[in-house]
Copies of this chain bind each other. A is one copy, B any other.
Amino acid sequence: MTTTDSPWIKIISLDPPSLQDNTADADRLISSLKANIQSAEIDVDLDLLKQLPALLRKWQYQVRCIVFKDRHRWLLTDITAAADTTPVAGLAIDLGTTRVVLRLVDLSTGRTLAESAFDNPQDAVGPDILARIHYAEKDGGLDRLNELIVHGLNRAIACLCATLKLDQQNIYALAVAGNTTMTHLFMGLNPRWIIREPYIPAVNKPPVVKAAALGVRVNPRARVLIFPNIGSYFGGDLIAGILYSEIDKKEETAILVDVGTNAEVVLGNRNWLIACAGAAGPALEGGVTRMGMTAGPGVIDKIIIDPDTRKFEIHTIEEKPPRGICGSGVIDLAAQLYLSGMIDIRGKFLPAECGSRLKEIDGLLHLTIVPADQSGTGADLTISQADVDSLIRSKAAMYTILETITTSVGMALKDLKRFYVAGTFGSFINPRSAITIGMLPDLPLESYHSLGNSSLGGATLALTSADCLAQTDRIRDRITYLELNVNPEFMNRFSAAKFLPHTNRSLFPSVEDWSKK
């Protein structure tokens, strides 16, 4: 097993001290490490310094050094015997508002050792960012939120390590990507000003800190890299996504979209990057629409409606009896309702076309997707006119954001060659449906690429390259942030986009074709 491939692991063979060379233990080791790494500055913590003389002698001055690169300097995190082959592990963390995903990586090979995920325990306090920030303002609220996430992580880490029979002390580096509020709560920083004009985070580029300082139970000297943010509404998860997508390295201009409650968009290439974030509306996120939910067994993720028979062909995750519908399912549904003529260009149910599926409940029209006798809940699964209206606003916001950012650099949406969609949403979305409702632009379907969990992917990359922190900072500093709130065209564009697929149908020639089928 070779461990020399990793930037974080260096085998150092020292000449033992002699009367002719009485350099101190620490300086002897650091000097040799400096030559190996070709760095002018390597720091050692006092607590490791205290152990060095005995450890170096125990191992006859032949050691395996575990290092980490902070912005302008290297740090010696630990030493082991040179022959020690215990894995040197790193932990990539996608710190989501709803869900937290961990990936344990062997730092010597880059190989994934294990993964796990858990619901963010801060949900007990409030489901969304706003609720949590308000809670953080109460007495002891911030501490409680911080404890919830740290304890949650510690439980997950303990569990991962137990499964692998790996000592938690062998985790030497963490990379954490999350939105600005989640990373603030994780660091114990007051998020109060994030949601108040002019929306100021405590920090854009968090310092590299020791795991012990954050209460994370791994090697206490393990260094924690927390991805920088652009501002309150453009977090480190997005920066990790850019790192993972590599749009900052390519000649051709590409776009990266991450959709949750907010839509975050980055447009650019190796010469420039521009980003914006805007409310995409609640319709796309589980738990917000009455029947919407996050992807899981029994959740409807695909729907096809026969335009002639109006028969619904429904697919659920794991093909379990349908219990609800997720964001991508809602988009499929709206697209199919439109293509089959059951809703008009304003998204309004057409009673003549919907037939018996349409009923009025409390004065509001509802369309039955799955009748009670076929559903997994024993009740009708329906979508209301209000749900569709909400979706239309969301898709209009999304398209307007995309249009605004491309226009801001003098491009048209049709000029985009690559379109990355990040996150769970990106994994499930059917681009053809999203185009049909005019949420995504009418590009060739092969332009669309799902990135999966790009936040976790970026965090993993950060663990496997010494220059990642520098590259991450560079990405962050290169981004021009476009403030949508102050864009005078935004509302006009938004109004034009509130139709299916758009008031300007020439922007969506494919939808015309698809309608004819």
Interface contact B26-A202, CB-CB below 8 Å: yes
Q: Point out the residue from B22, B27, B72 that lies within 8 Å of A41, measured CB to CB.
A: B72
Chain B proximity of A496: nearest CB distance (Å) = 26
B201–A24 touching, CB < 8 Å: yes
Q: Which of A45-53, A261-269, A383-391 contacts B (4 or more CB under 8 A)?
A: A45-53
* Interface 1/0 per residue, A156-173 and B, CB below 8 Å: 000000000000000000
CB-CB < 8 A to A321: which residues of B? none
B22 touches A71 (CB 8 A): no
Tell me if B483 and A19 are in contact (CB < 8 A): yes
- Given known contacts A41-B72, A73-B73, A213-B46, A204 and B23 CB-to-CB distance under 8 angstroms: yes
Q: Which of B52, B198, B205 contacts A202 (CB 8 A)?
A: B52
With beta carbons under 8 angstroms apart, the residue of B22, B26, B53, B199 that contacts A22 is B199
Q: Beyond A49-B189, A49-B203, A72-B40, is A198–B486 a contact (Cβ under 8 Å)?
A: no
Chain B's nearest CB lies how many Å from the CB of A327? 29
Mark interface residues in A409-447 (1 if CB within 8 Å of B CB, else 0).
000000000000000000000000000000000000000
Q: Report whether A25 and B187 are in contact in the complex, using a CB–CB cutoff of 8 Å.
A: no
Encode A181-208 as 1/0 by CB contact (under 8 A) with B.
0000001111011000111111111110
Contacting residue for A198 out of B17, B192, B203, B213, CB 8 A: B17
A44 CB-CB contact with B under 8 Å? yes
What residue in chain B is nearest A209 (Cβ atoms)? B46
How far, in whole Å, are A206 and B43 apart by their CA atoms in the complex? Answer: 10
Q: Does A487 contact B (CB under 8 A)?
A: no
Contact B203 A25 (CB under 8 A): yes
Which of chain A's residues 231-285 have a Cβ closer than 8 Å to chain B?
Answer: 231-232
The reply to whether the CB of A485 lies closer than 8 angstroms to some CB of chain B is: yes
- In A6-56, which residues have CB < 8 Å from any B CB? 17-19, 22-27, 40-41, 43-46, 49-50, 52-54
Q: Take A190-B53, A207-B49 as given contacts and tell me if A486 and B24 are in contact as well, using a CB distance cutoff of 8 Å.
A: no
> CB distance A46 to B190 under 8 Å?
no
Q: Complex formed: what's the CA distance from A203 to B48 in Å?
A: 12
Interface positions, chain A 327-350, Cβ under 8 Å from B, are none
Cα–Cα distance between A186 and B207 once the two chains are bound (Å): 28
Mark interface residues in A480-506 (1 if CB within 8 Å of B CB, else 0): 000101100000000000000000000
Could you tell me the distance in whole angstroms from the C-beta of A58 to the nearest C-beta in chain B?
Answer: 13
Contact between chains at B189 and A50 (CB < 8 Å): yes
- Docked CA distance A52–B203 (Å): 9
A204-223 at interface with B (beta carbon < 8 Å): 204-207, 209, 213-214
User: Which residues does chain B contribute within 8 Å of A18, judged by CB atoms?
Assistant: 198
Give chain B residues whose Cβ lies under 8 Å from the Cβ of A50. 187-190, 202
Nearest CB to that of A230 among chain B residues?
A: B22
Q: Which residues of B contact A486 (CB under 8 A)?
A: 19
Q: Are A27 and B203 in touch, CB under 8 angstroms? A: yes
| A73-B72, A204-B26, A207-B43 known; A193+B19 contact, CB < 8 A | no
Known: A27-B203, A213-B46. A190 touches B54 (CB 8 A): yes
Residue of B whose beta carbon sits closest to that of A203: B26
Give the residues in chain B near A72, CB-CB below 8 Å. Answer: 40-41, 72-73
| Shortest Cβ distance from A191 into B: residue | B53
In the assembled complex, the Cα of A49 lies from the Cα of B214 at a distance in Å of 13
Selected contact of A24 from candidates B23, B40, B200, CB within 8 Å: B200
Q: Is the pair B207, A44 in contact by a Cβ cutoff of 8 Å?
A: yes
Contact with B along A47-83 (1 / 0, CB 8 A): 0011011100000000000000001110000000000
Given A40-B72, A41-B71, A187-B46; A204-B19 close (CB under 8 Å): no
Contact of A53 among B17, B23, B193, B213 (CB under 8 A): B193
User: A320 to chain B: closest CB distance in Å?
Assistant: 45
Q: How far is the CB of A293 from chain B (nearest CB, A)?
A: 34
Question: Is B46 touching A207 in the complex (CB atoms < 8 A)?
Answer: yes
Across the interface, do B204 and A27 meet the contact criterion of CB distance under 8 Å? Answer: yes
Are A25 and B71 within 8 A (Cβ)?
no
Within 72-125 of A, Cβ neighbours of B (below 8 Å) are at 72-73
- A209 contact set on B, CB distance < 8 A: 46
| Additional A-B contact list (13), CB under 8 Å, known A45-B207, A53-B192 | A19-B197, A22-B198, A22-B232, A24-B200, A27-B203, A27-B205, A46-B207, A49-B189, A50-B187, A50-B190, A52-B202, A53-B202, A72-B72
Q: Which residues of A contact B (CB under 8 A)?
A: 17-19, 22-27, 40-41, 43-46, 49-50, 52-54, 71-73, 187-190, 192-193, 197-207, 209, 213-214, 229, 231-232, 483, 485-486
Which 9 pairs from chain A and chain B are nearest by CB? A26-B203, A24-B204, A24-B201, A27-B204, A19-B198, A17-B200, A41-B72, A53-B202, A24-B203
